[in-house]
Amino acid sequence: MFEVGPVRAIVAPELINEQNLDFQTIPYADKGARSIWANPFHGLPESIDLPLRFGNLGRRRMVSGQSSLTIDIGPVVTGVTEENQWWGPSMRNALVLGPNAAGVPRIFLRTRQPAPTRYGTFDAQWFLGRLSESNYFDYDSTNNSRALSGVVATWRPPHTSHAEFGVTRLVMTPVVSNDISLGTAFNVFHDVGRPNTQPKHPGNYTAPDQIFSLFGRLALPDDGFESWFEWARTEQPISFRDLLEQPAHSQGYTIGAQLVRPLADSATNLRFRVEATYFEPSPSLRFQPGLLTSYTSHAVPQGFTQDGQMLGAAIGPGSSSQFASLDFIRNRWTAGLFGGRIRYDNGMLFESIVPGVKREDITMFVGIRGHVLWRGLRVGAEFQSTVRLNYLYQAYLADEGTGTSSGIDFRNRTLSIVLSPAKGF
């Protein structure tokens, strides 16, 4: 880090090396329109740039990573960066903006620190960024970039730091010949209409698209308890009446909680965490038109992605998940168990691209993890055993006489070890 007066520069590039060994995928059906690696379940109108595999070769690249250049201007900070951000209180799935994708190159303006007022404490950030298409989507070089304007604001009620509420919004805007103007930064404050309810003719991508969320967090330190929620919609309500009639239209949510209790020796704490995320198709689609799958878009065919990866929830479009963990925590070490379930892209279950017997694509996982503080290093290790049931909805008829079917399942085991400098936990 370099700092001269109000100017601060952080240089933190990242070298990414991916072996990308072979595994089964389904090629995109129309090879003349998109790469064979493009997501085969999401052509128009429910389109998204989310390849099942990033080509058939290994990849190595250097990115600016968590680098930034900022200038302090009184109570606000402005600058440029490509660092990852996590909006909202969730533990595993940020619905609007999370660290799953590569960082978005952007210019930003934010409060230097939370601003106290008689009505509570406020904090906010506003940015304009450039989203990039992956190399494994379509062959149209004129739409490889999109403008992304975003805002997040939080409020803490007066006389407390244990409750927080906030709002977020992202607006994607197609641009002509990849040219982004500063004026698109204000799109996040504009009404974008309902571009997915009355989609335009394929190839005429001119309308912006949006996602917004409300979130909150409540902590009770004396009881060792914390809870949080985030509620999002990918389509704006037509009116207040429409919101009252169909509040769940195009919605997603995350809810979670944790409880910490000291054990008998008082030097060890037991921490229990749970979180559930749901962004599967809304039942309101029986009454209202719109897209079946979250994070996809007709107006902006790449959807809410950056370089082929999700901007929001890491579980992906049209998915849901549940997670729980139990950890023992001491001053210099932790140890625990965890497990969970993910149901992928459930709106695509009955698409014709997968012939024959179909079943829901589900992942189940369990694992153990721990950390220890050793000679100024924080050494962490995690082992996880995973089974993916009915991979890409595929199954087969095991007994024609009884109609019994069985899924195409895959098992995997991973071990990760992380070393980082630390003075404590």
Predicted confidence (pLDDT) per residue in 53-65, tens digit: 999 988 888 888 8
Q: Which two tokens stand for residue 41?
A: 């379940």
Q: How confident is the model at residue 394 (pLDDT cuts 50, 70, 90)?
A: confident
**pLDDT at residue 2 greater than cutoff 90:** no
CA-CA distance, 96 to 233, in Å (whole number)?
A: 10
**pLDDT at residue 173 greater than cutoff 90:** yes
Q: How confident is the model at residue 424 (pLDDT cuts 50, 70, 90)?
A: very low
* pLDDT average, residue stretch 220-231: 95
Report how far apart, in Å, the C-alpha atoms of 403 and of each of 109, 183, 360, 397, 398 are. 60, 60, 17, 7, 7
Task: For residue 240, give the DSSP letter.
Answer: H
Report how far apart, in Å, the C-alpha atoms of 110 and of each of 33, 120, 181 are. 41, 18, 20
**pLDDT at residue 401 greater than cutoff 70:** no
Q: Which of 335, 351, 317 is nearest to 29 (CA)?
A: 351
The angle subtended at Cα 13 by Cα 10 and Cα 16, nearest 5°, is: 160
Q: How confident is the model at residue 423 (pLDDT cuts 50, 70, 90)?
A: low
**pLDDT at residue 233 greater than cutoff 90:** yes
CA-CA distance, 338 to 358, in Å (whole number)?
A: 29
CA-CA distance, 252 to 90, in Å (whole number)?
A: 13
Q: What percent of the chain has pLDDT over 70?
A: 95
CA-CA distance, 181 to 145, in Å (whole number)?
A: 12
pLDDT in the model for residue 207: 85
**pLDDT at residue 296 greater than cutoff 80:** yes
For tokens 């805002």, name the residue.
151
CA-CA distance, 149 to 219, in Å (whole number)?
A: 31
pTM over 0.95: no
